A and B are shown apart, each in its own frame.
Chain A
Amino acid sequence: MRLRLSLLCLPLLLTSLVWAQTAALKPTPTTRPVLLKPSPDNLADLRALQTQVEAVVSKVTPAVVGLRVERGQGSGVIISDDGYVLTAGHVASKPNIDVRVVLADGKTVRGKTLGVNHAIDSGLIKITDPPPGGGKWPFVQMGFSGQLYKAQWCIALGHPGGFKLGRSAPLRLGRILDTRGTFIRTDCTLVGGDSGGPLFDLDGKVVGIHSRIGSTVNDNLHVPVDTFRDTWERLAKGEEWGEPMFRAKPYFGIEEDDMATNCRIGDVFPGSPAEKAGLTTGDVITSFGGQKVENFSALVLLLAGRKVGEEVTVQILRDDKPITVKVVIAARPR
């Protein structure tokens, strides 16, 4: 608990300028009661809500970033002037890997992943490039997710579908529908690419980090920001812990032959299920689990439907001779 307070120093070590900005985000005495109502009653209430949402969005948008980590894309938010970035655990994926951070204006800078808590899906990234002109990174403050209440207004920003030049981080307005220690649920709709992006209260403070979705438009789950504060030292030290909440992806372990129109193997990965089954470069896969394979794309889709540990019958052509092998699908290496 005391540890938590010392860690708080990071977002609190702010210049007076930033304090002034934060103060400006506070709803006015006339707006505050409107925001506390269960729902706006009339046009005047809607205008008060709108004014506050617009003010928050324009202040916080510069701190919302896109992230490219290995082959994946996600979002994040800068929470300190020296470039700490909160994101989702499944975006950071593991400690100490290179990240490209796409700033709000489209410029990309380099960063490294620090800690990852797979259990709650939190991750930390540090921008390693210096800020332009010896300045500071635009950042927002961390709020307190433990103080959220049901039906409280909130906004989501992020980069659905990945960062797109010419499109600012799309805004979604919603309310807190459920709040617990391990997740926050809102009706701010999210989709792939948003992962790691920030959920803000209407004071402009980050209260959650986008994590996952369910079937309805009201199932949008965010990692409570308090957990980042509670585990700050471990995250900042680059620790990795917790069981991943995301199911392992099926892994076969081959690379396609670029020039082939059929499913000819270009390369087999060491230690992969394909290697263990004796497959080799030049083999042409013709069927997978009893289903015809015409090209590599077809194989990818068939594989996606398989579970880790499943045994699959694979037919190949080697030197034009048909061969049948059994392959045990493994989990994609992390």
Chain B
Amino acid sequence: MAGQEKSKDEHQHLVGICMGMCPNAEVRLRQREKMIHPLEMAIDSNGQRLNYPQARAMVKMYSRPAAGQQIKATDIRPVPVLMKTLRYLLANVCCRKDVSWALVYQFVSDRLQAIRQDLCVQRGRNVMALQIYQAAVRFYIYAHYRTCEHELKDFDPFLNMKQLVDTLSLVMSLYQELDLVSSIVAPDKVDLTDYTSFNGYDEESEEEDSDSDSKVDDGAETKIVQDSKASEKGTSSGGETIPGLEGDNNTVGDHDDNSSGSGSVKAGNTQEREKVLPSERKNKKQYHGDTVSCSSLQEEGVALYMLVNLGNEETIMNVLRLHQNIKCSKLVSLTLKMNLAWLSHNYYRVLKLSTCLPPLCQCAFHIHLTVIQRKSLSILNQSHSCKGQSYSLEQLSEMLLYNNSDHLAEACTHYGLPAMNGGVVFTKGKFNYEASLMKPRHTRRIEDQLATVPLPGLLLPTLSH
């Protein structure tokens, strides 16, 4: 039994050998069974969809792991190919305007789940896997906001939230794990070599990637093969170290051999740290193709974790236990303050601070907005109950981040509080706690902010320029 334990520790995991976004067997099966998603169909010269697959656009579907089903290496995509697939999904498919967003969401969220499954089967627990997971988190958060006004048949907030929370806790545990490993066995972190070699390959095709709304990446298939070959070389040679993970624990001191490299990363690091607030965020565009240091990625990850789980005491405790460097970074300390404020239901402070968040974080916060608004109204109703007085709708809608006083009035009426003549009358005991939560709405502020960032930049800030 002791022997078994030992062999478990060794890395004897399956490594996929499928070099396309979709295994050949699945392409054939789905073609035969006519299971082609509209986003994978070929388009004829008139722009009509043909019920015929465009081989390059096929992406492996998620299928539930069934008992007794043998996992074949030919069906599993190695990590670099997964990265490529992710890029295709988030940078290209998400920008498609020729089909409805609901369809895009359904497609991307399913294919992302397949990516996560492939990663899981191969026990992908390195920096690249981490980046893939975190990009998935960004998508779920963005989708949660963008799709919040849709009907249940198009979008199930509960399921999306589950994916989001699961992936996010995976991201957090990976940070913990990798942080630990990097402080012990520094030469293990070859992973970024793959990643940088990727960037190099993609540089040529970048233009068509960013503006391709209709012409989906030509020659994606061949490129994938190239890329993964290159990165395979990277992993097999294995000796080179790329300083990717050090961030806060460069006390280890075995980076002497690549001191020049780590220097540049550190420089990038400070630069990165500065642009947290939206006003500073514009600098991002000047920040071409550089390797983004892991610590700033971690900042984003932790901030999103805190916002998605706003008010959860366990989450706050977990973050409080993190390293000082992370805790004190601007973005994380902001989200920490918001969480602490929400502990005492200080809605005013939470909402005020939320307006300082960068766009994606705003989307993450938006998940809780309706709950916060309802709680605020119920508290205000208890404390401002005074005969013959009303609270100005305009002031209140601004404070509670409603788009305008009409939206607030609608919410007040929904929760049983009479709103008329530009004011709401609070009366103790009138608040209807039974009323269901208002359906979330897009907010003007987030819409405006999102408009300033191109979607690939929002979802893949580390990969696209």
A binds B: no
Which B residues are within 8 Å of any A CB, using their own CB?
Answer: none
Which A residues are within 8 Å of any B CB, using their own CB?
Answer: none
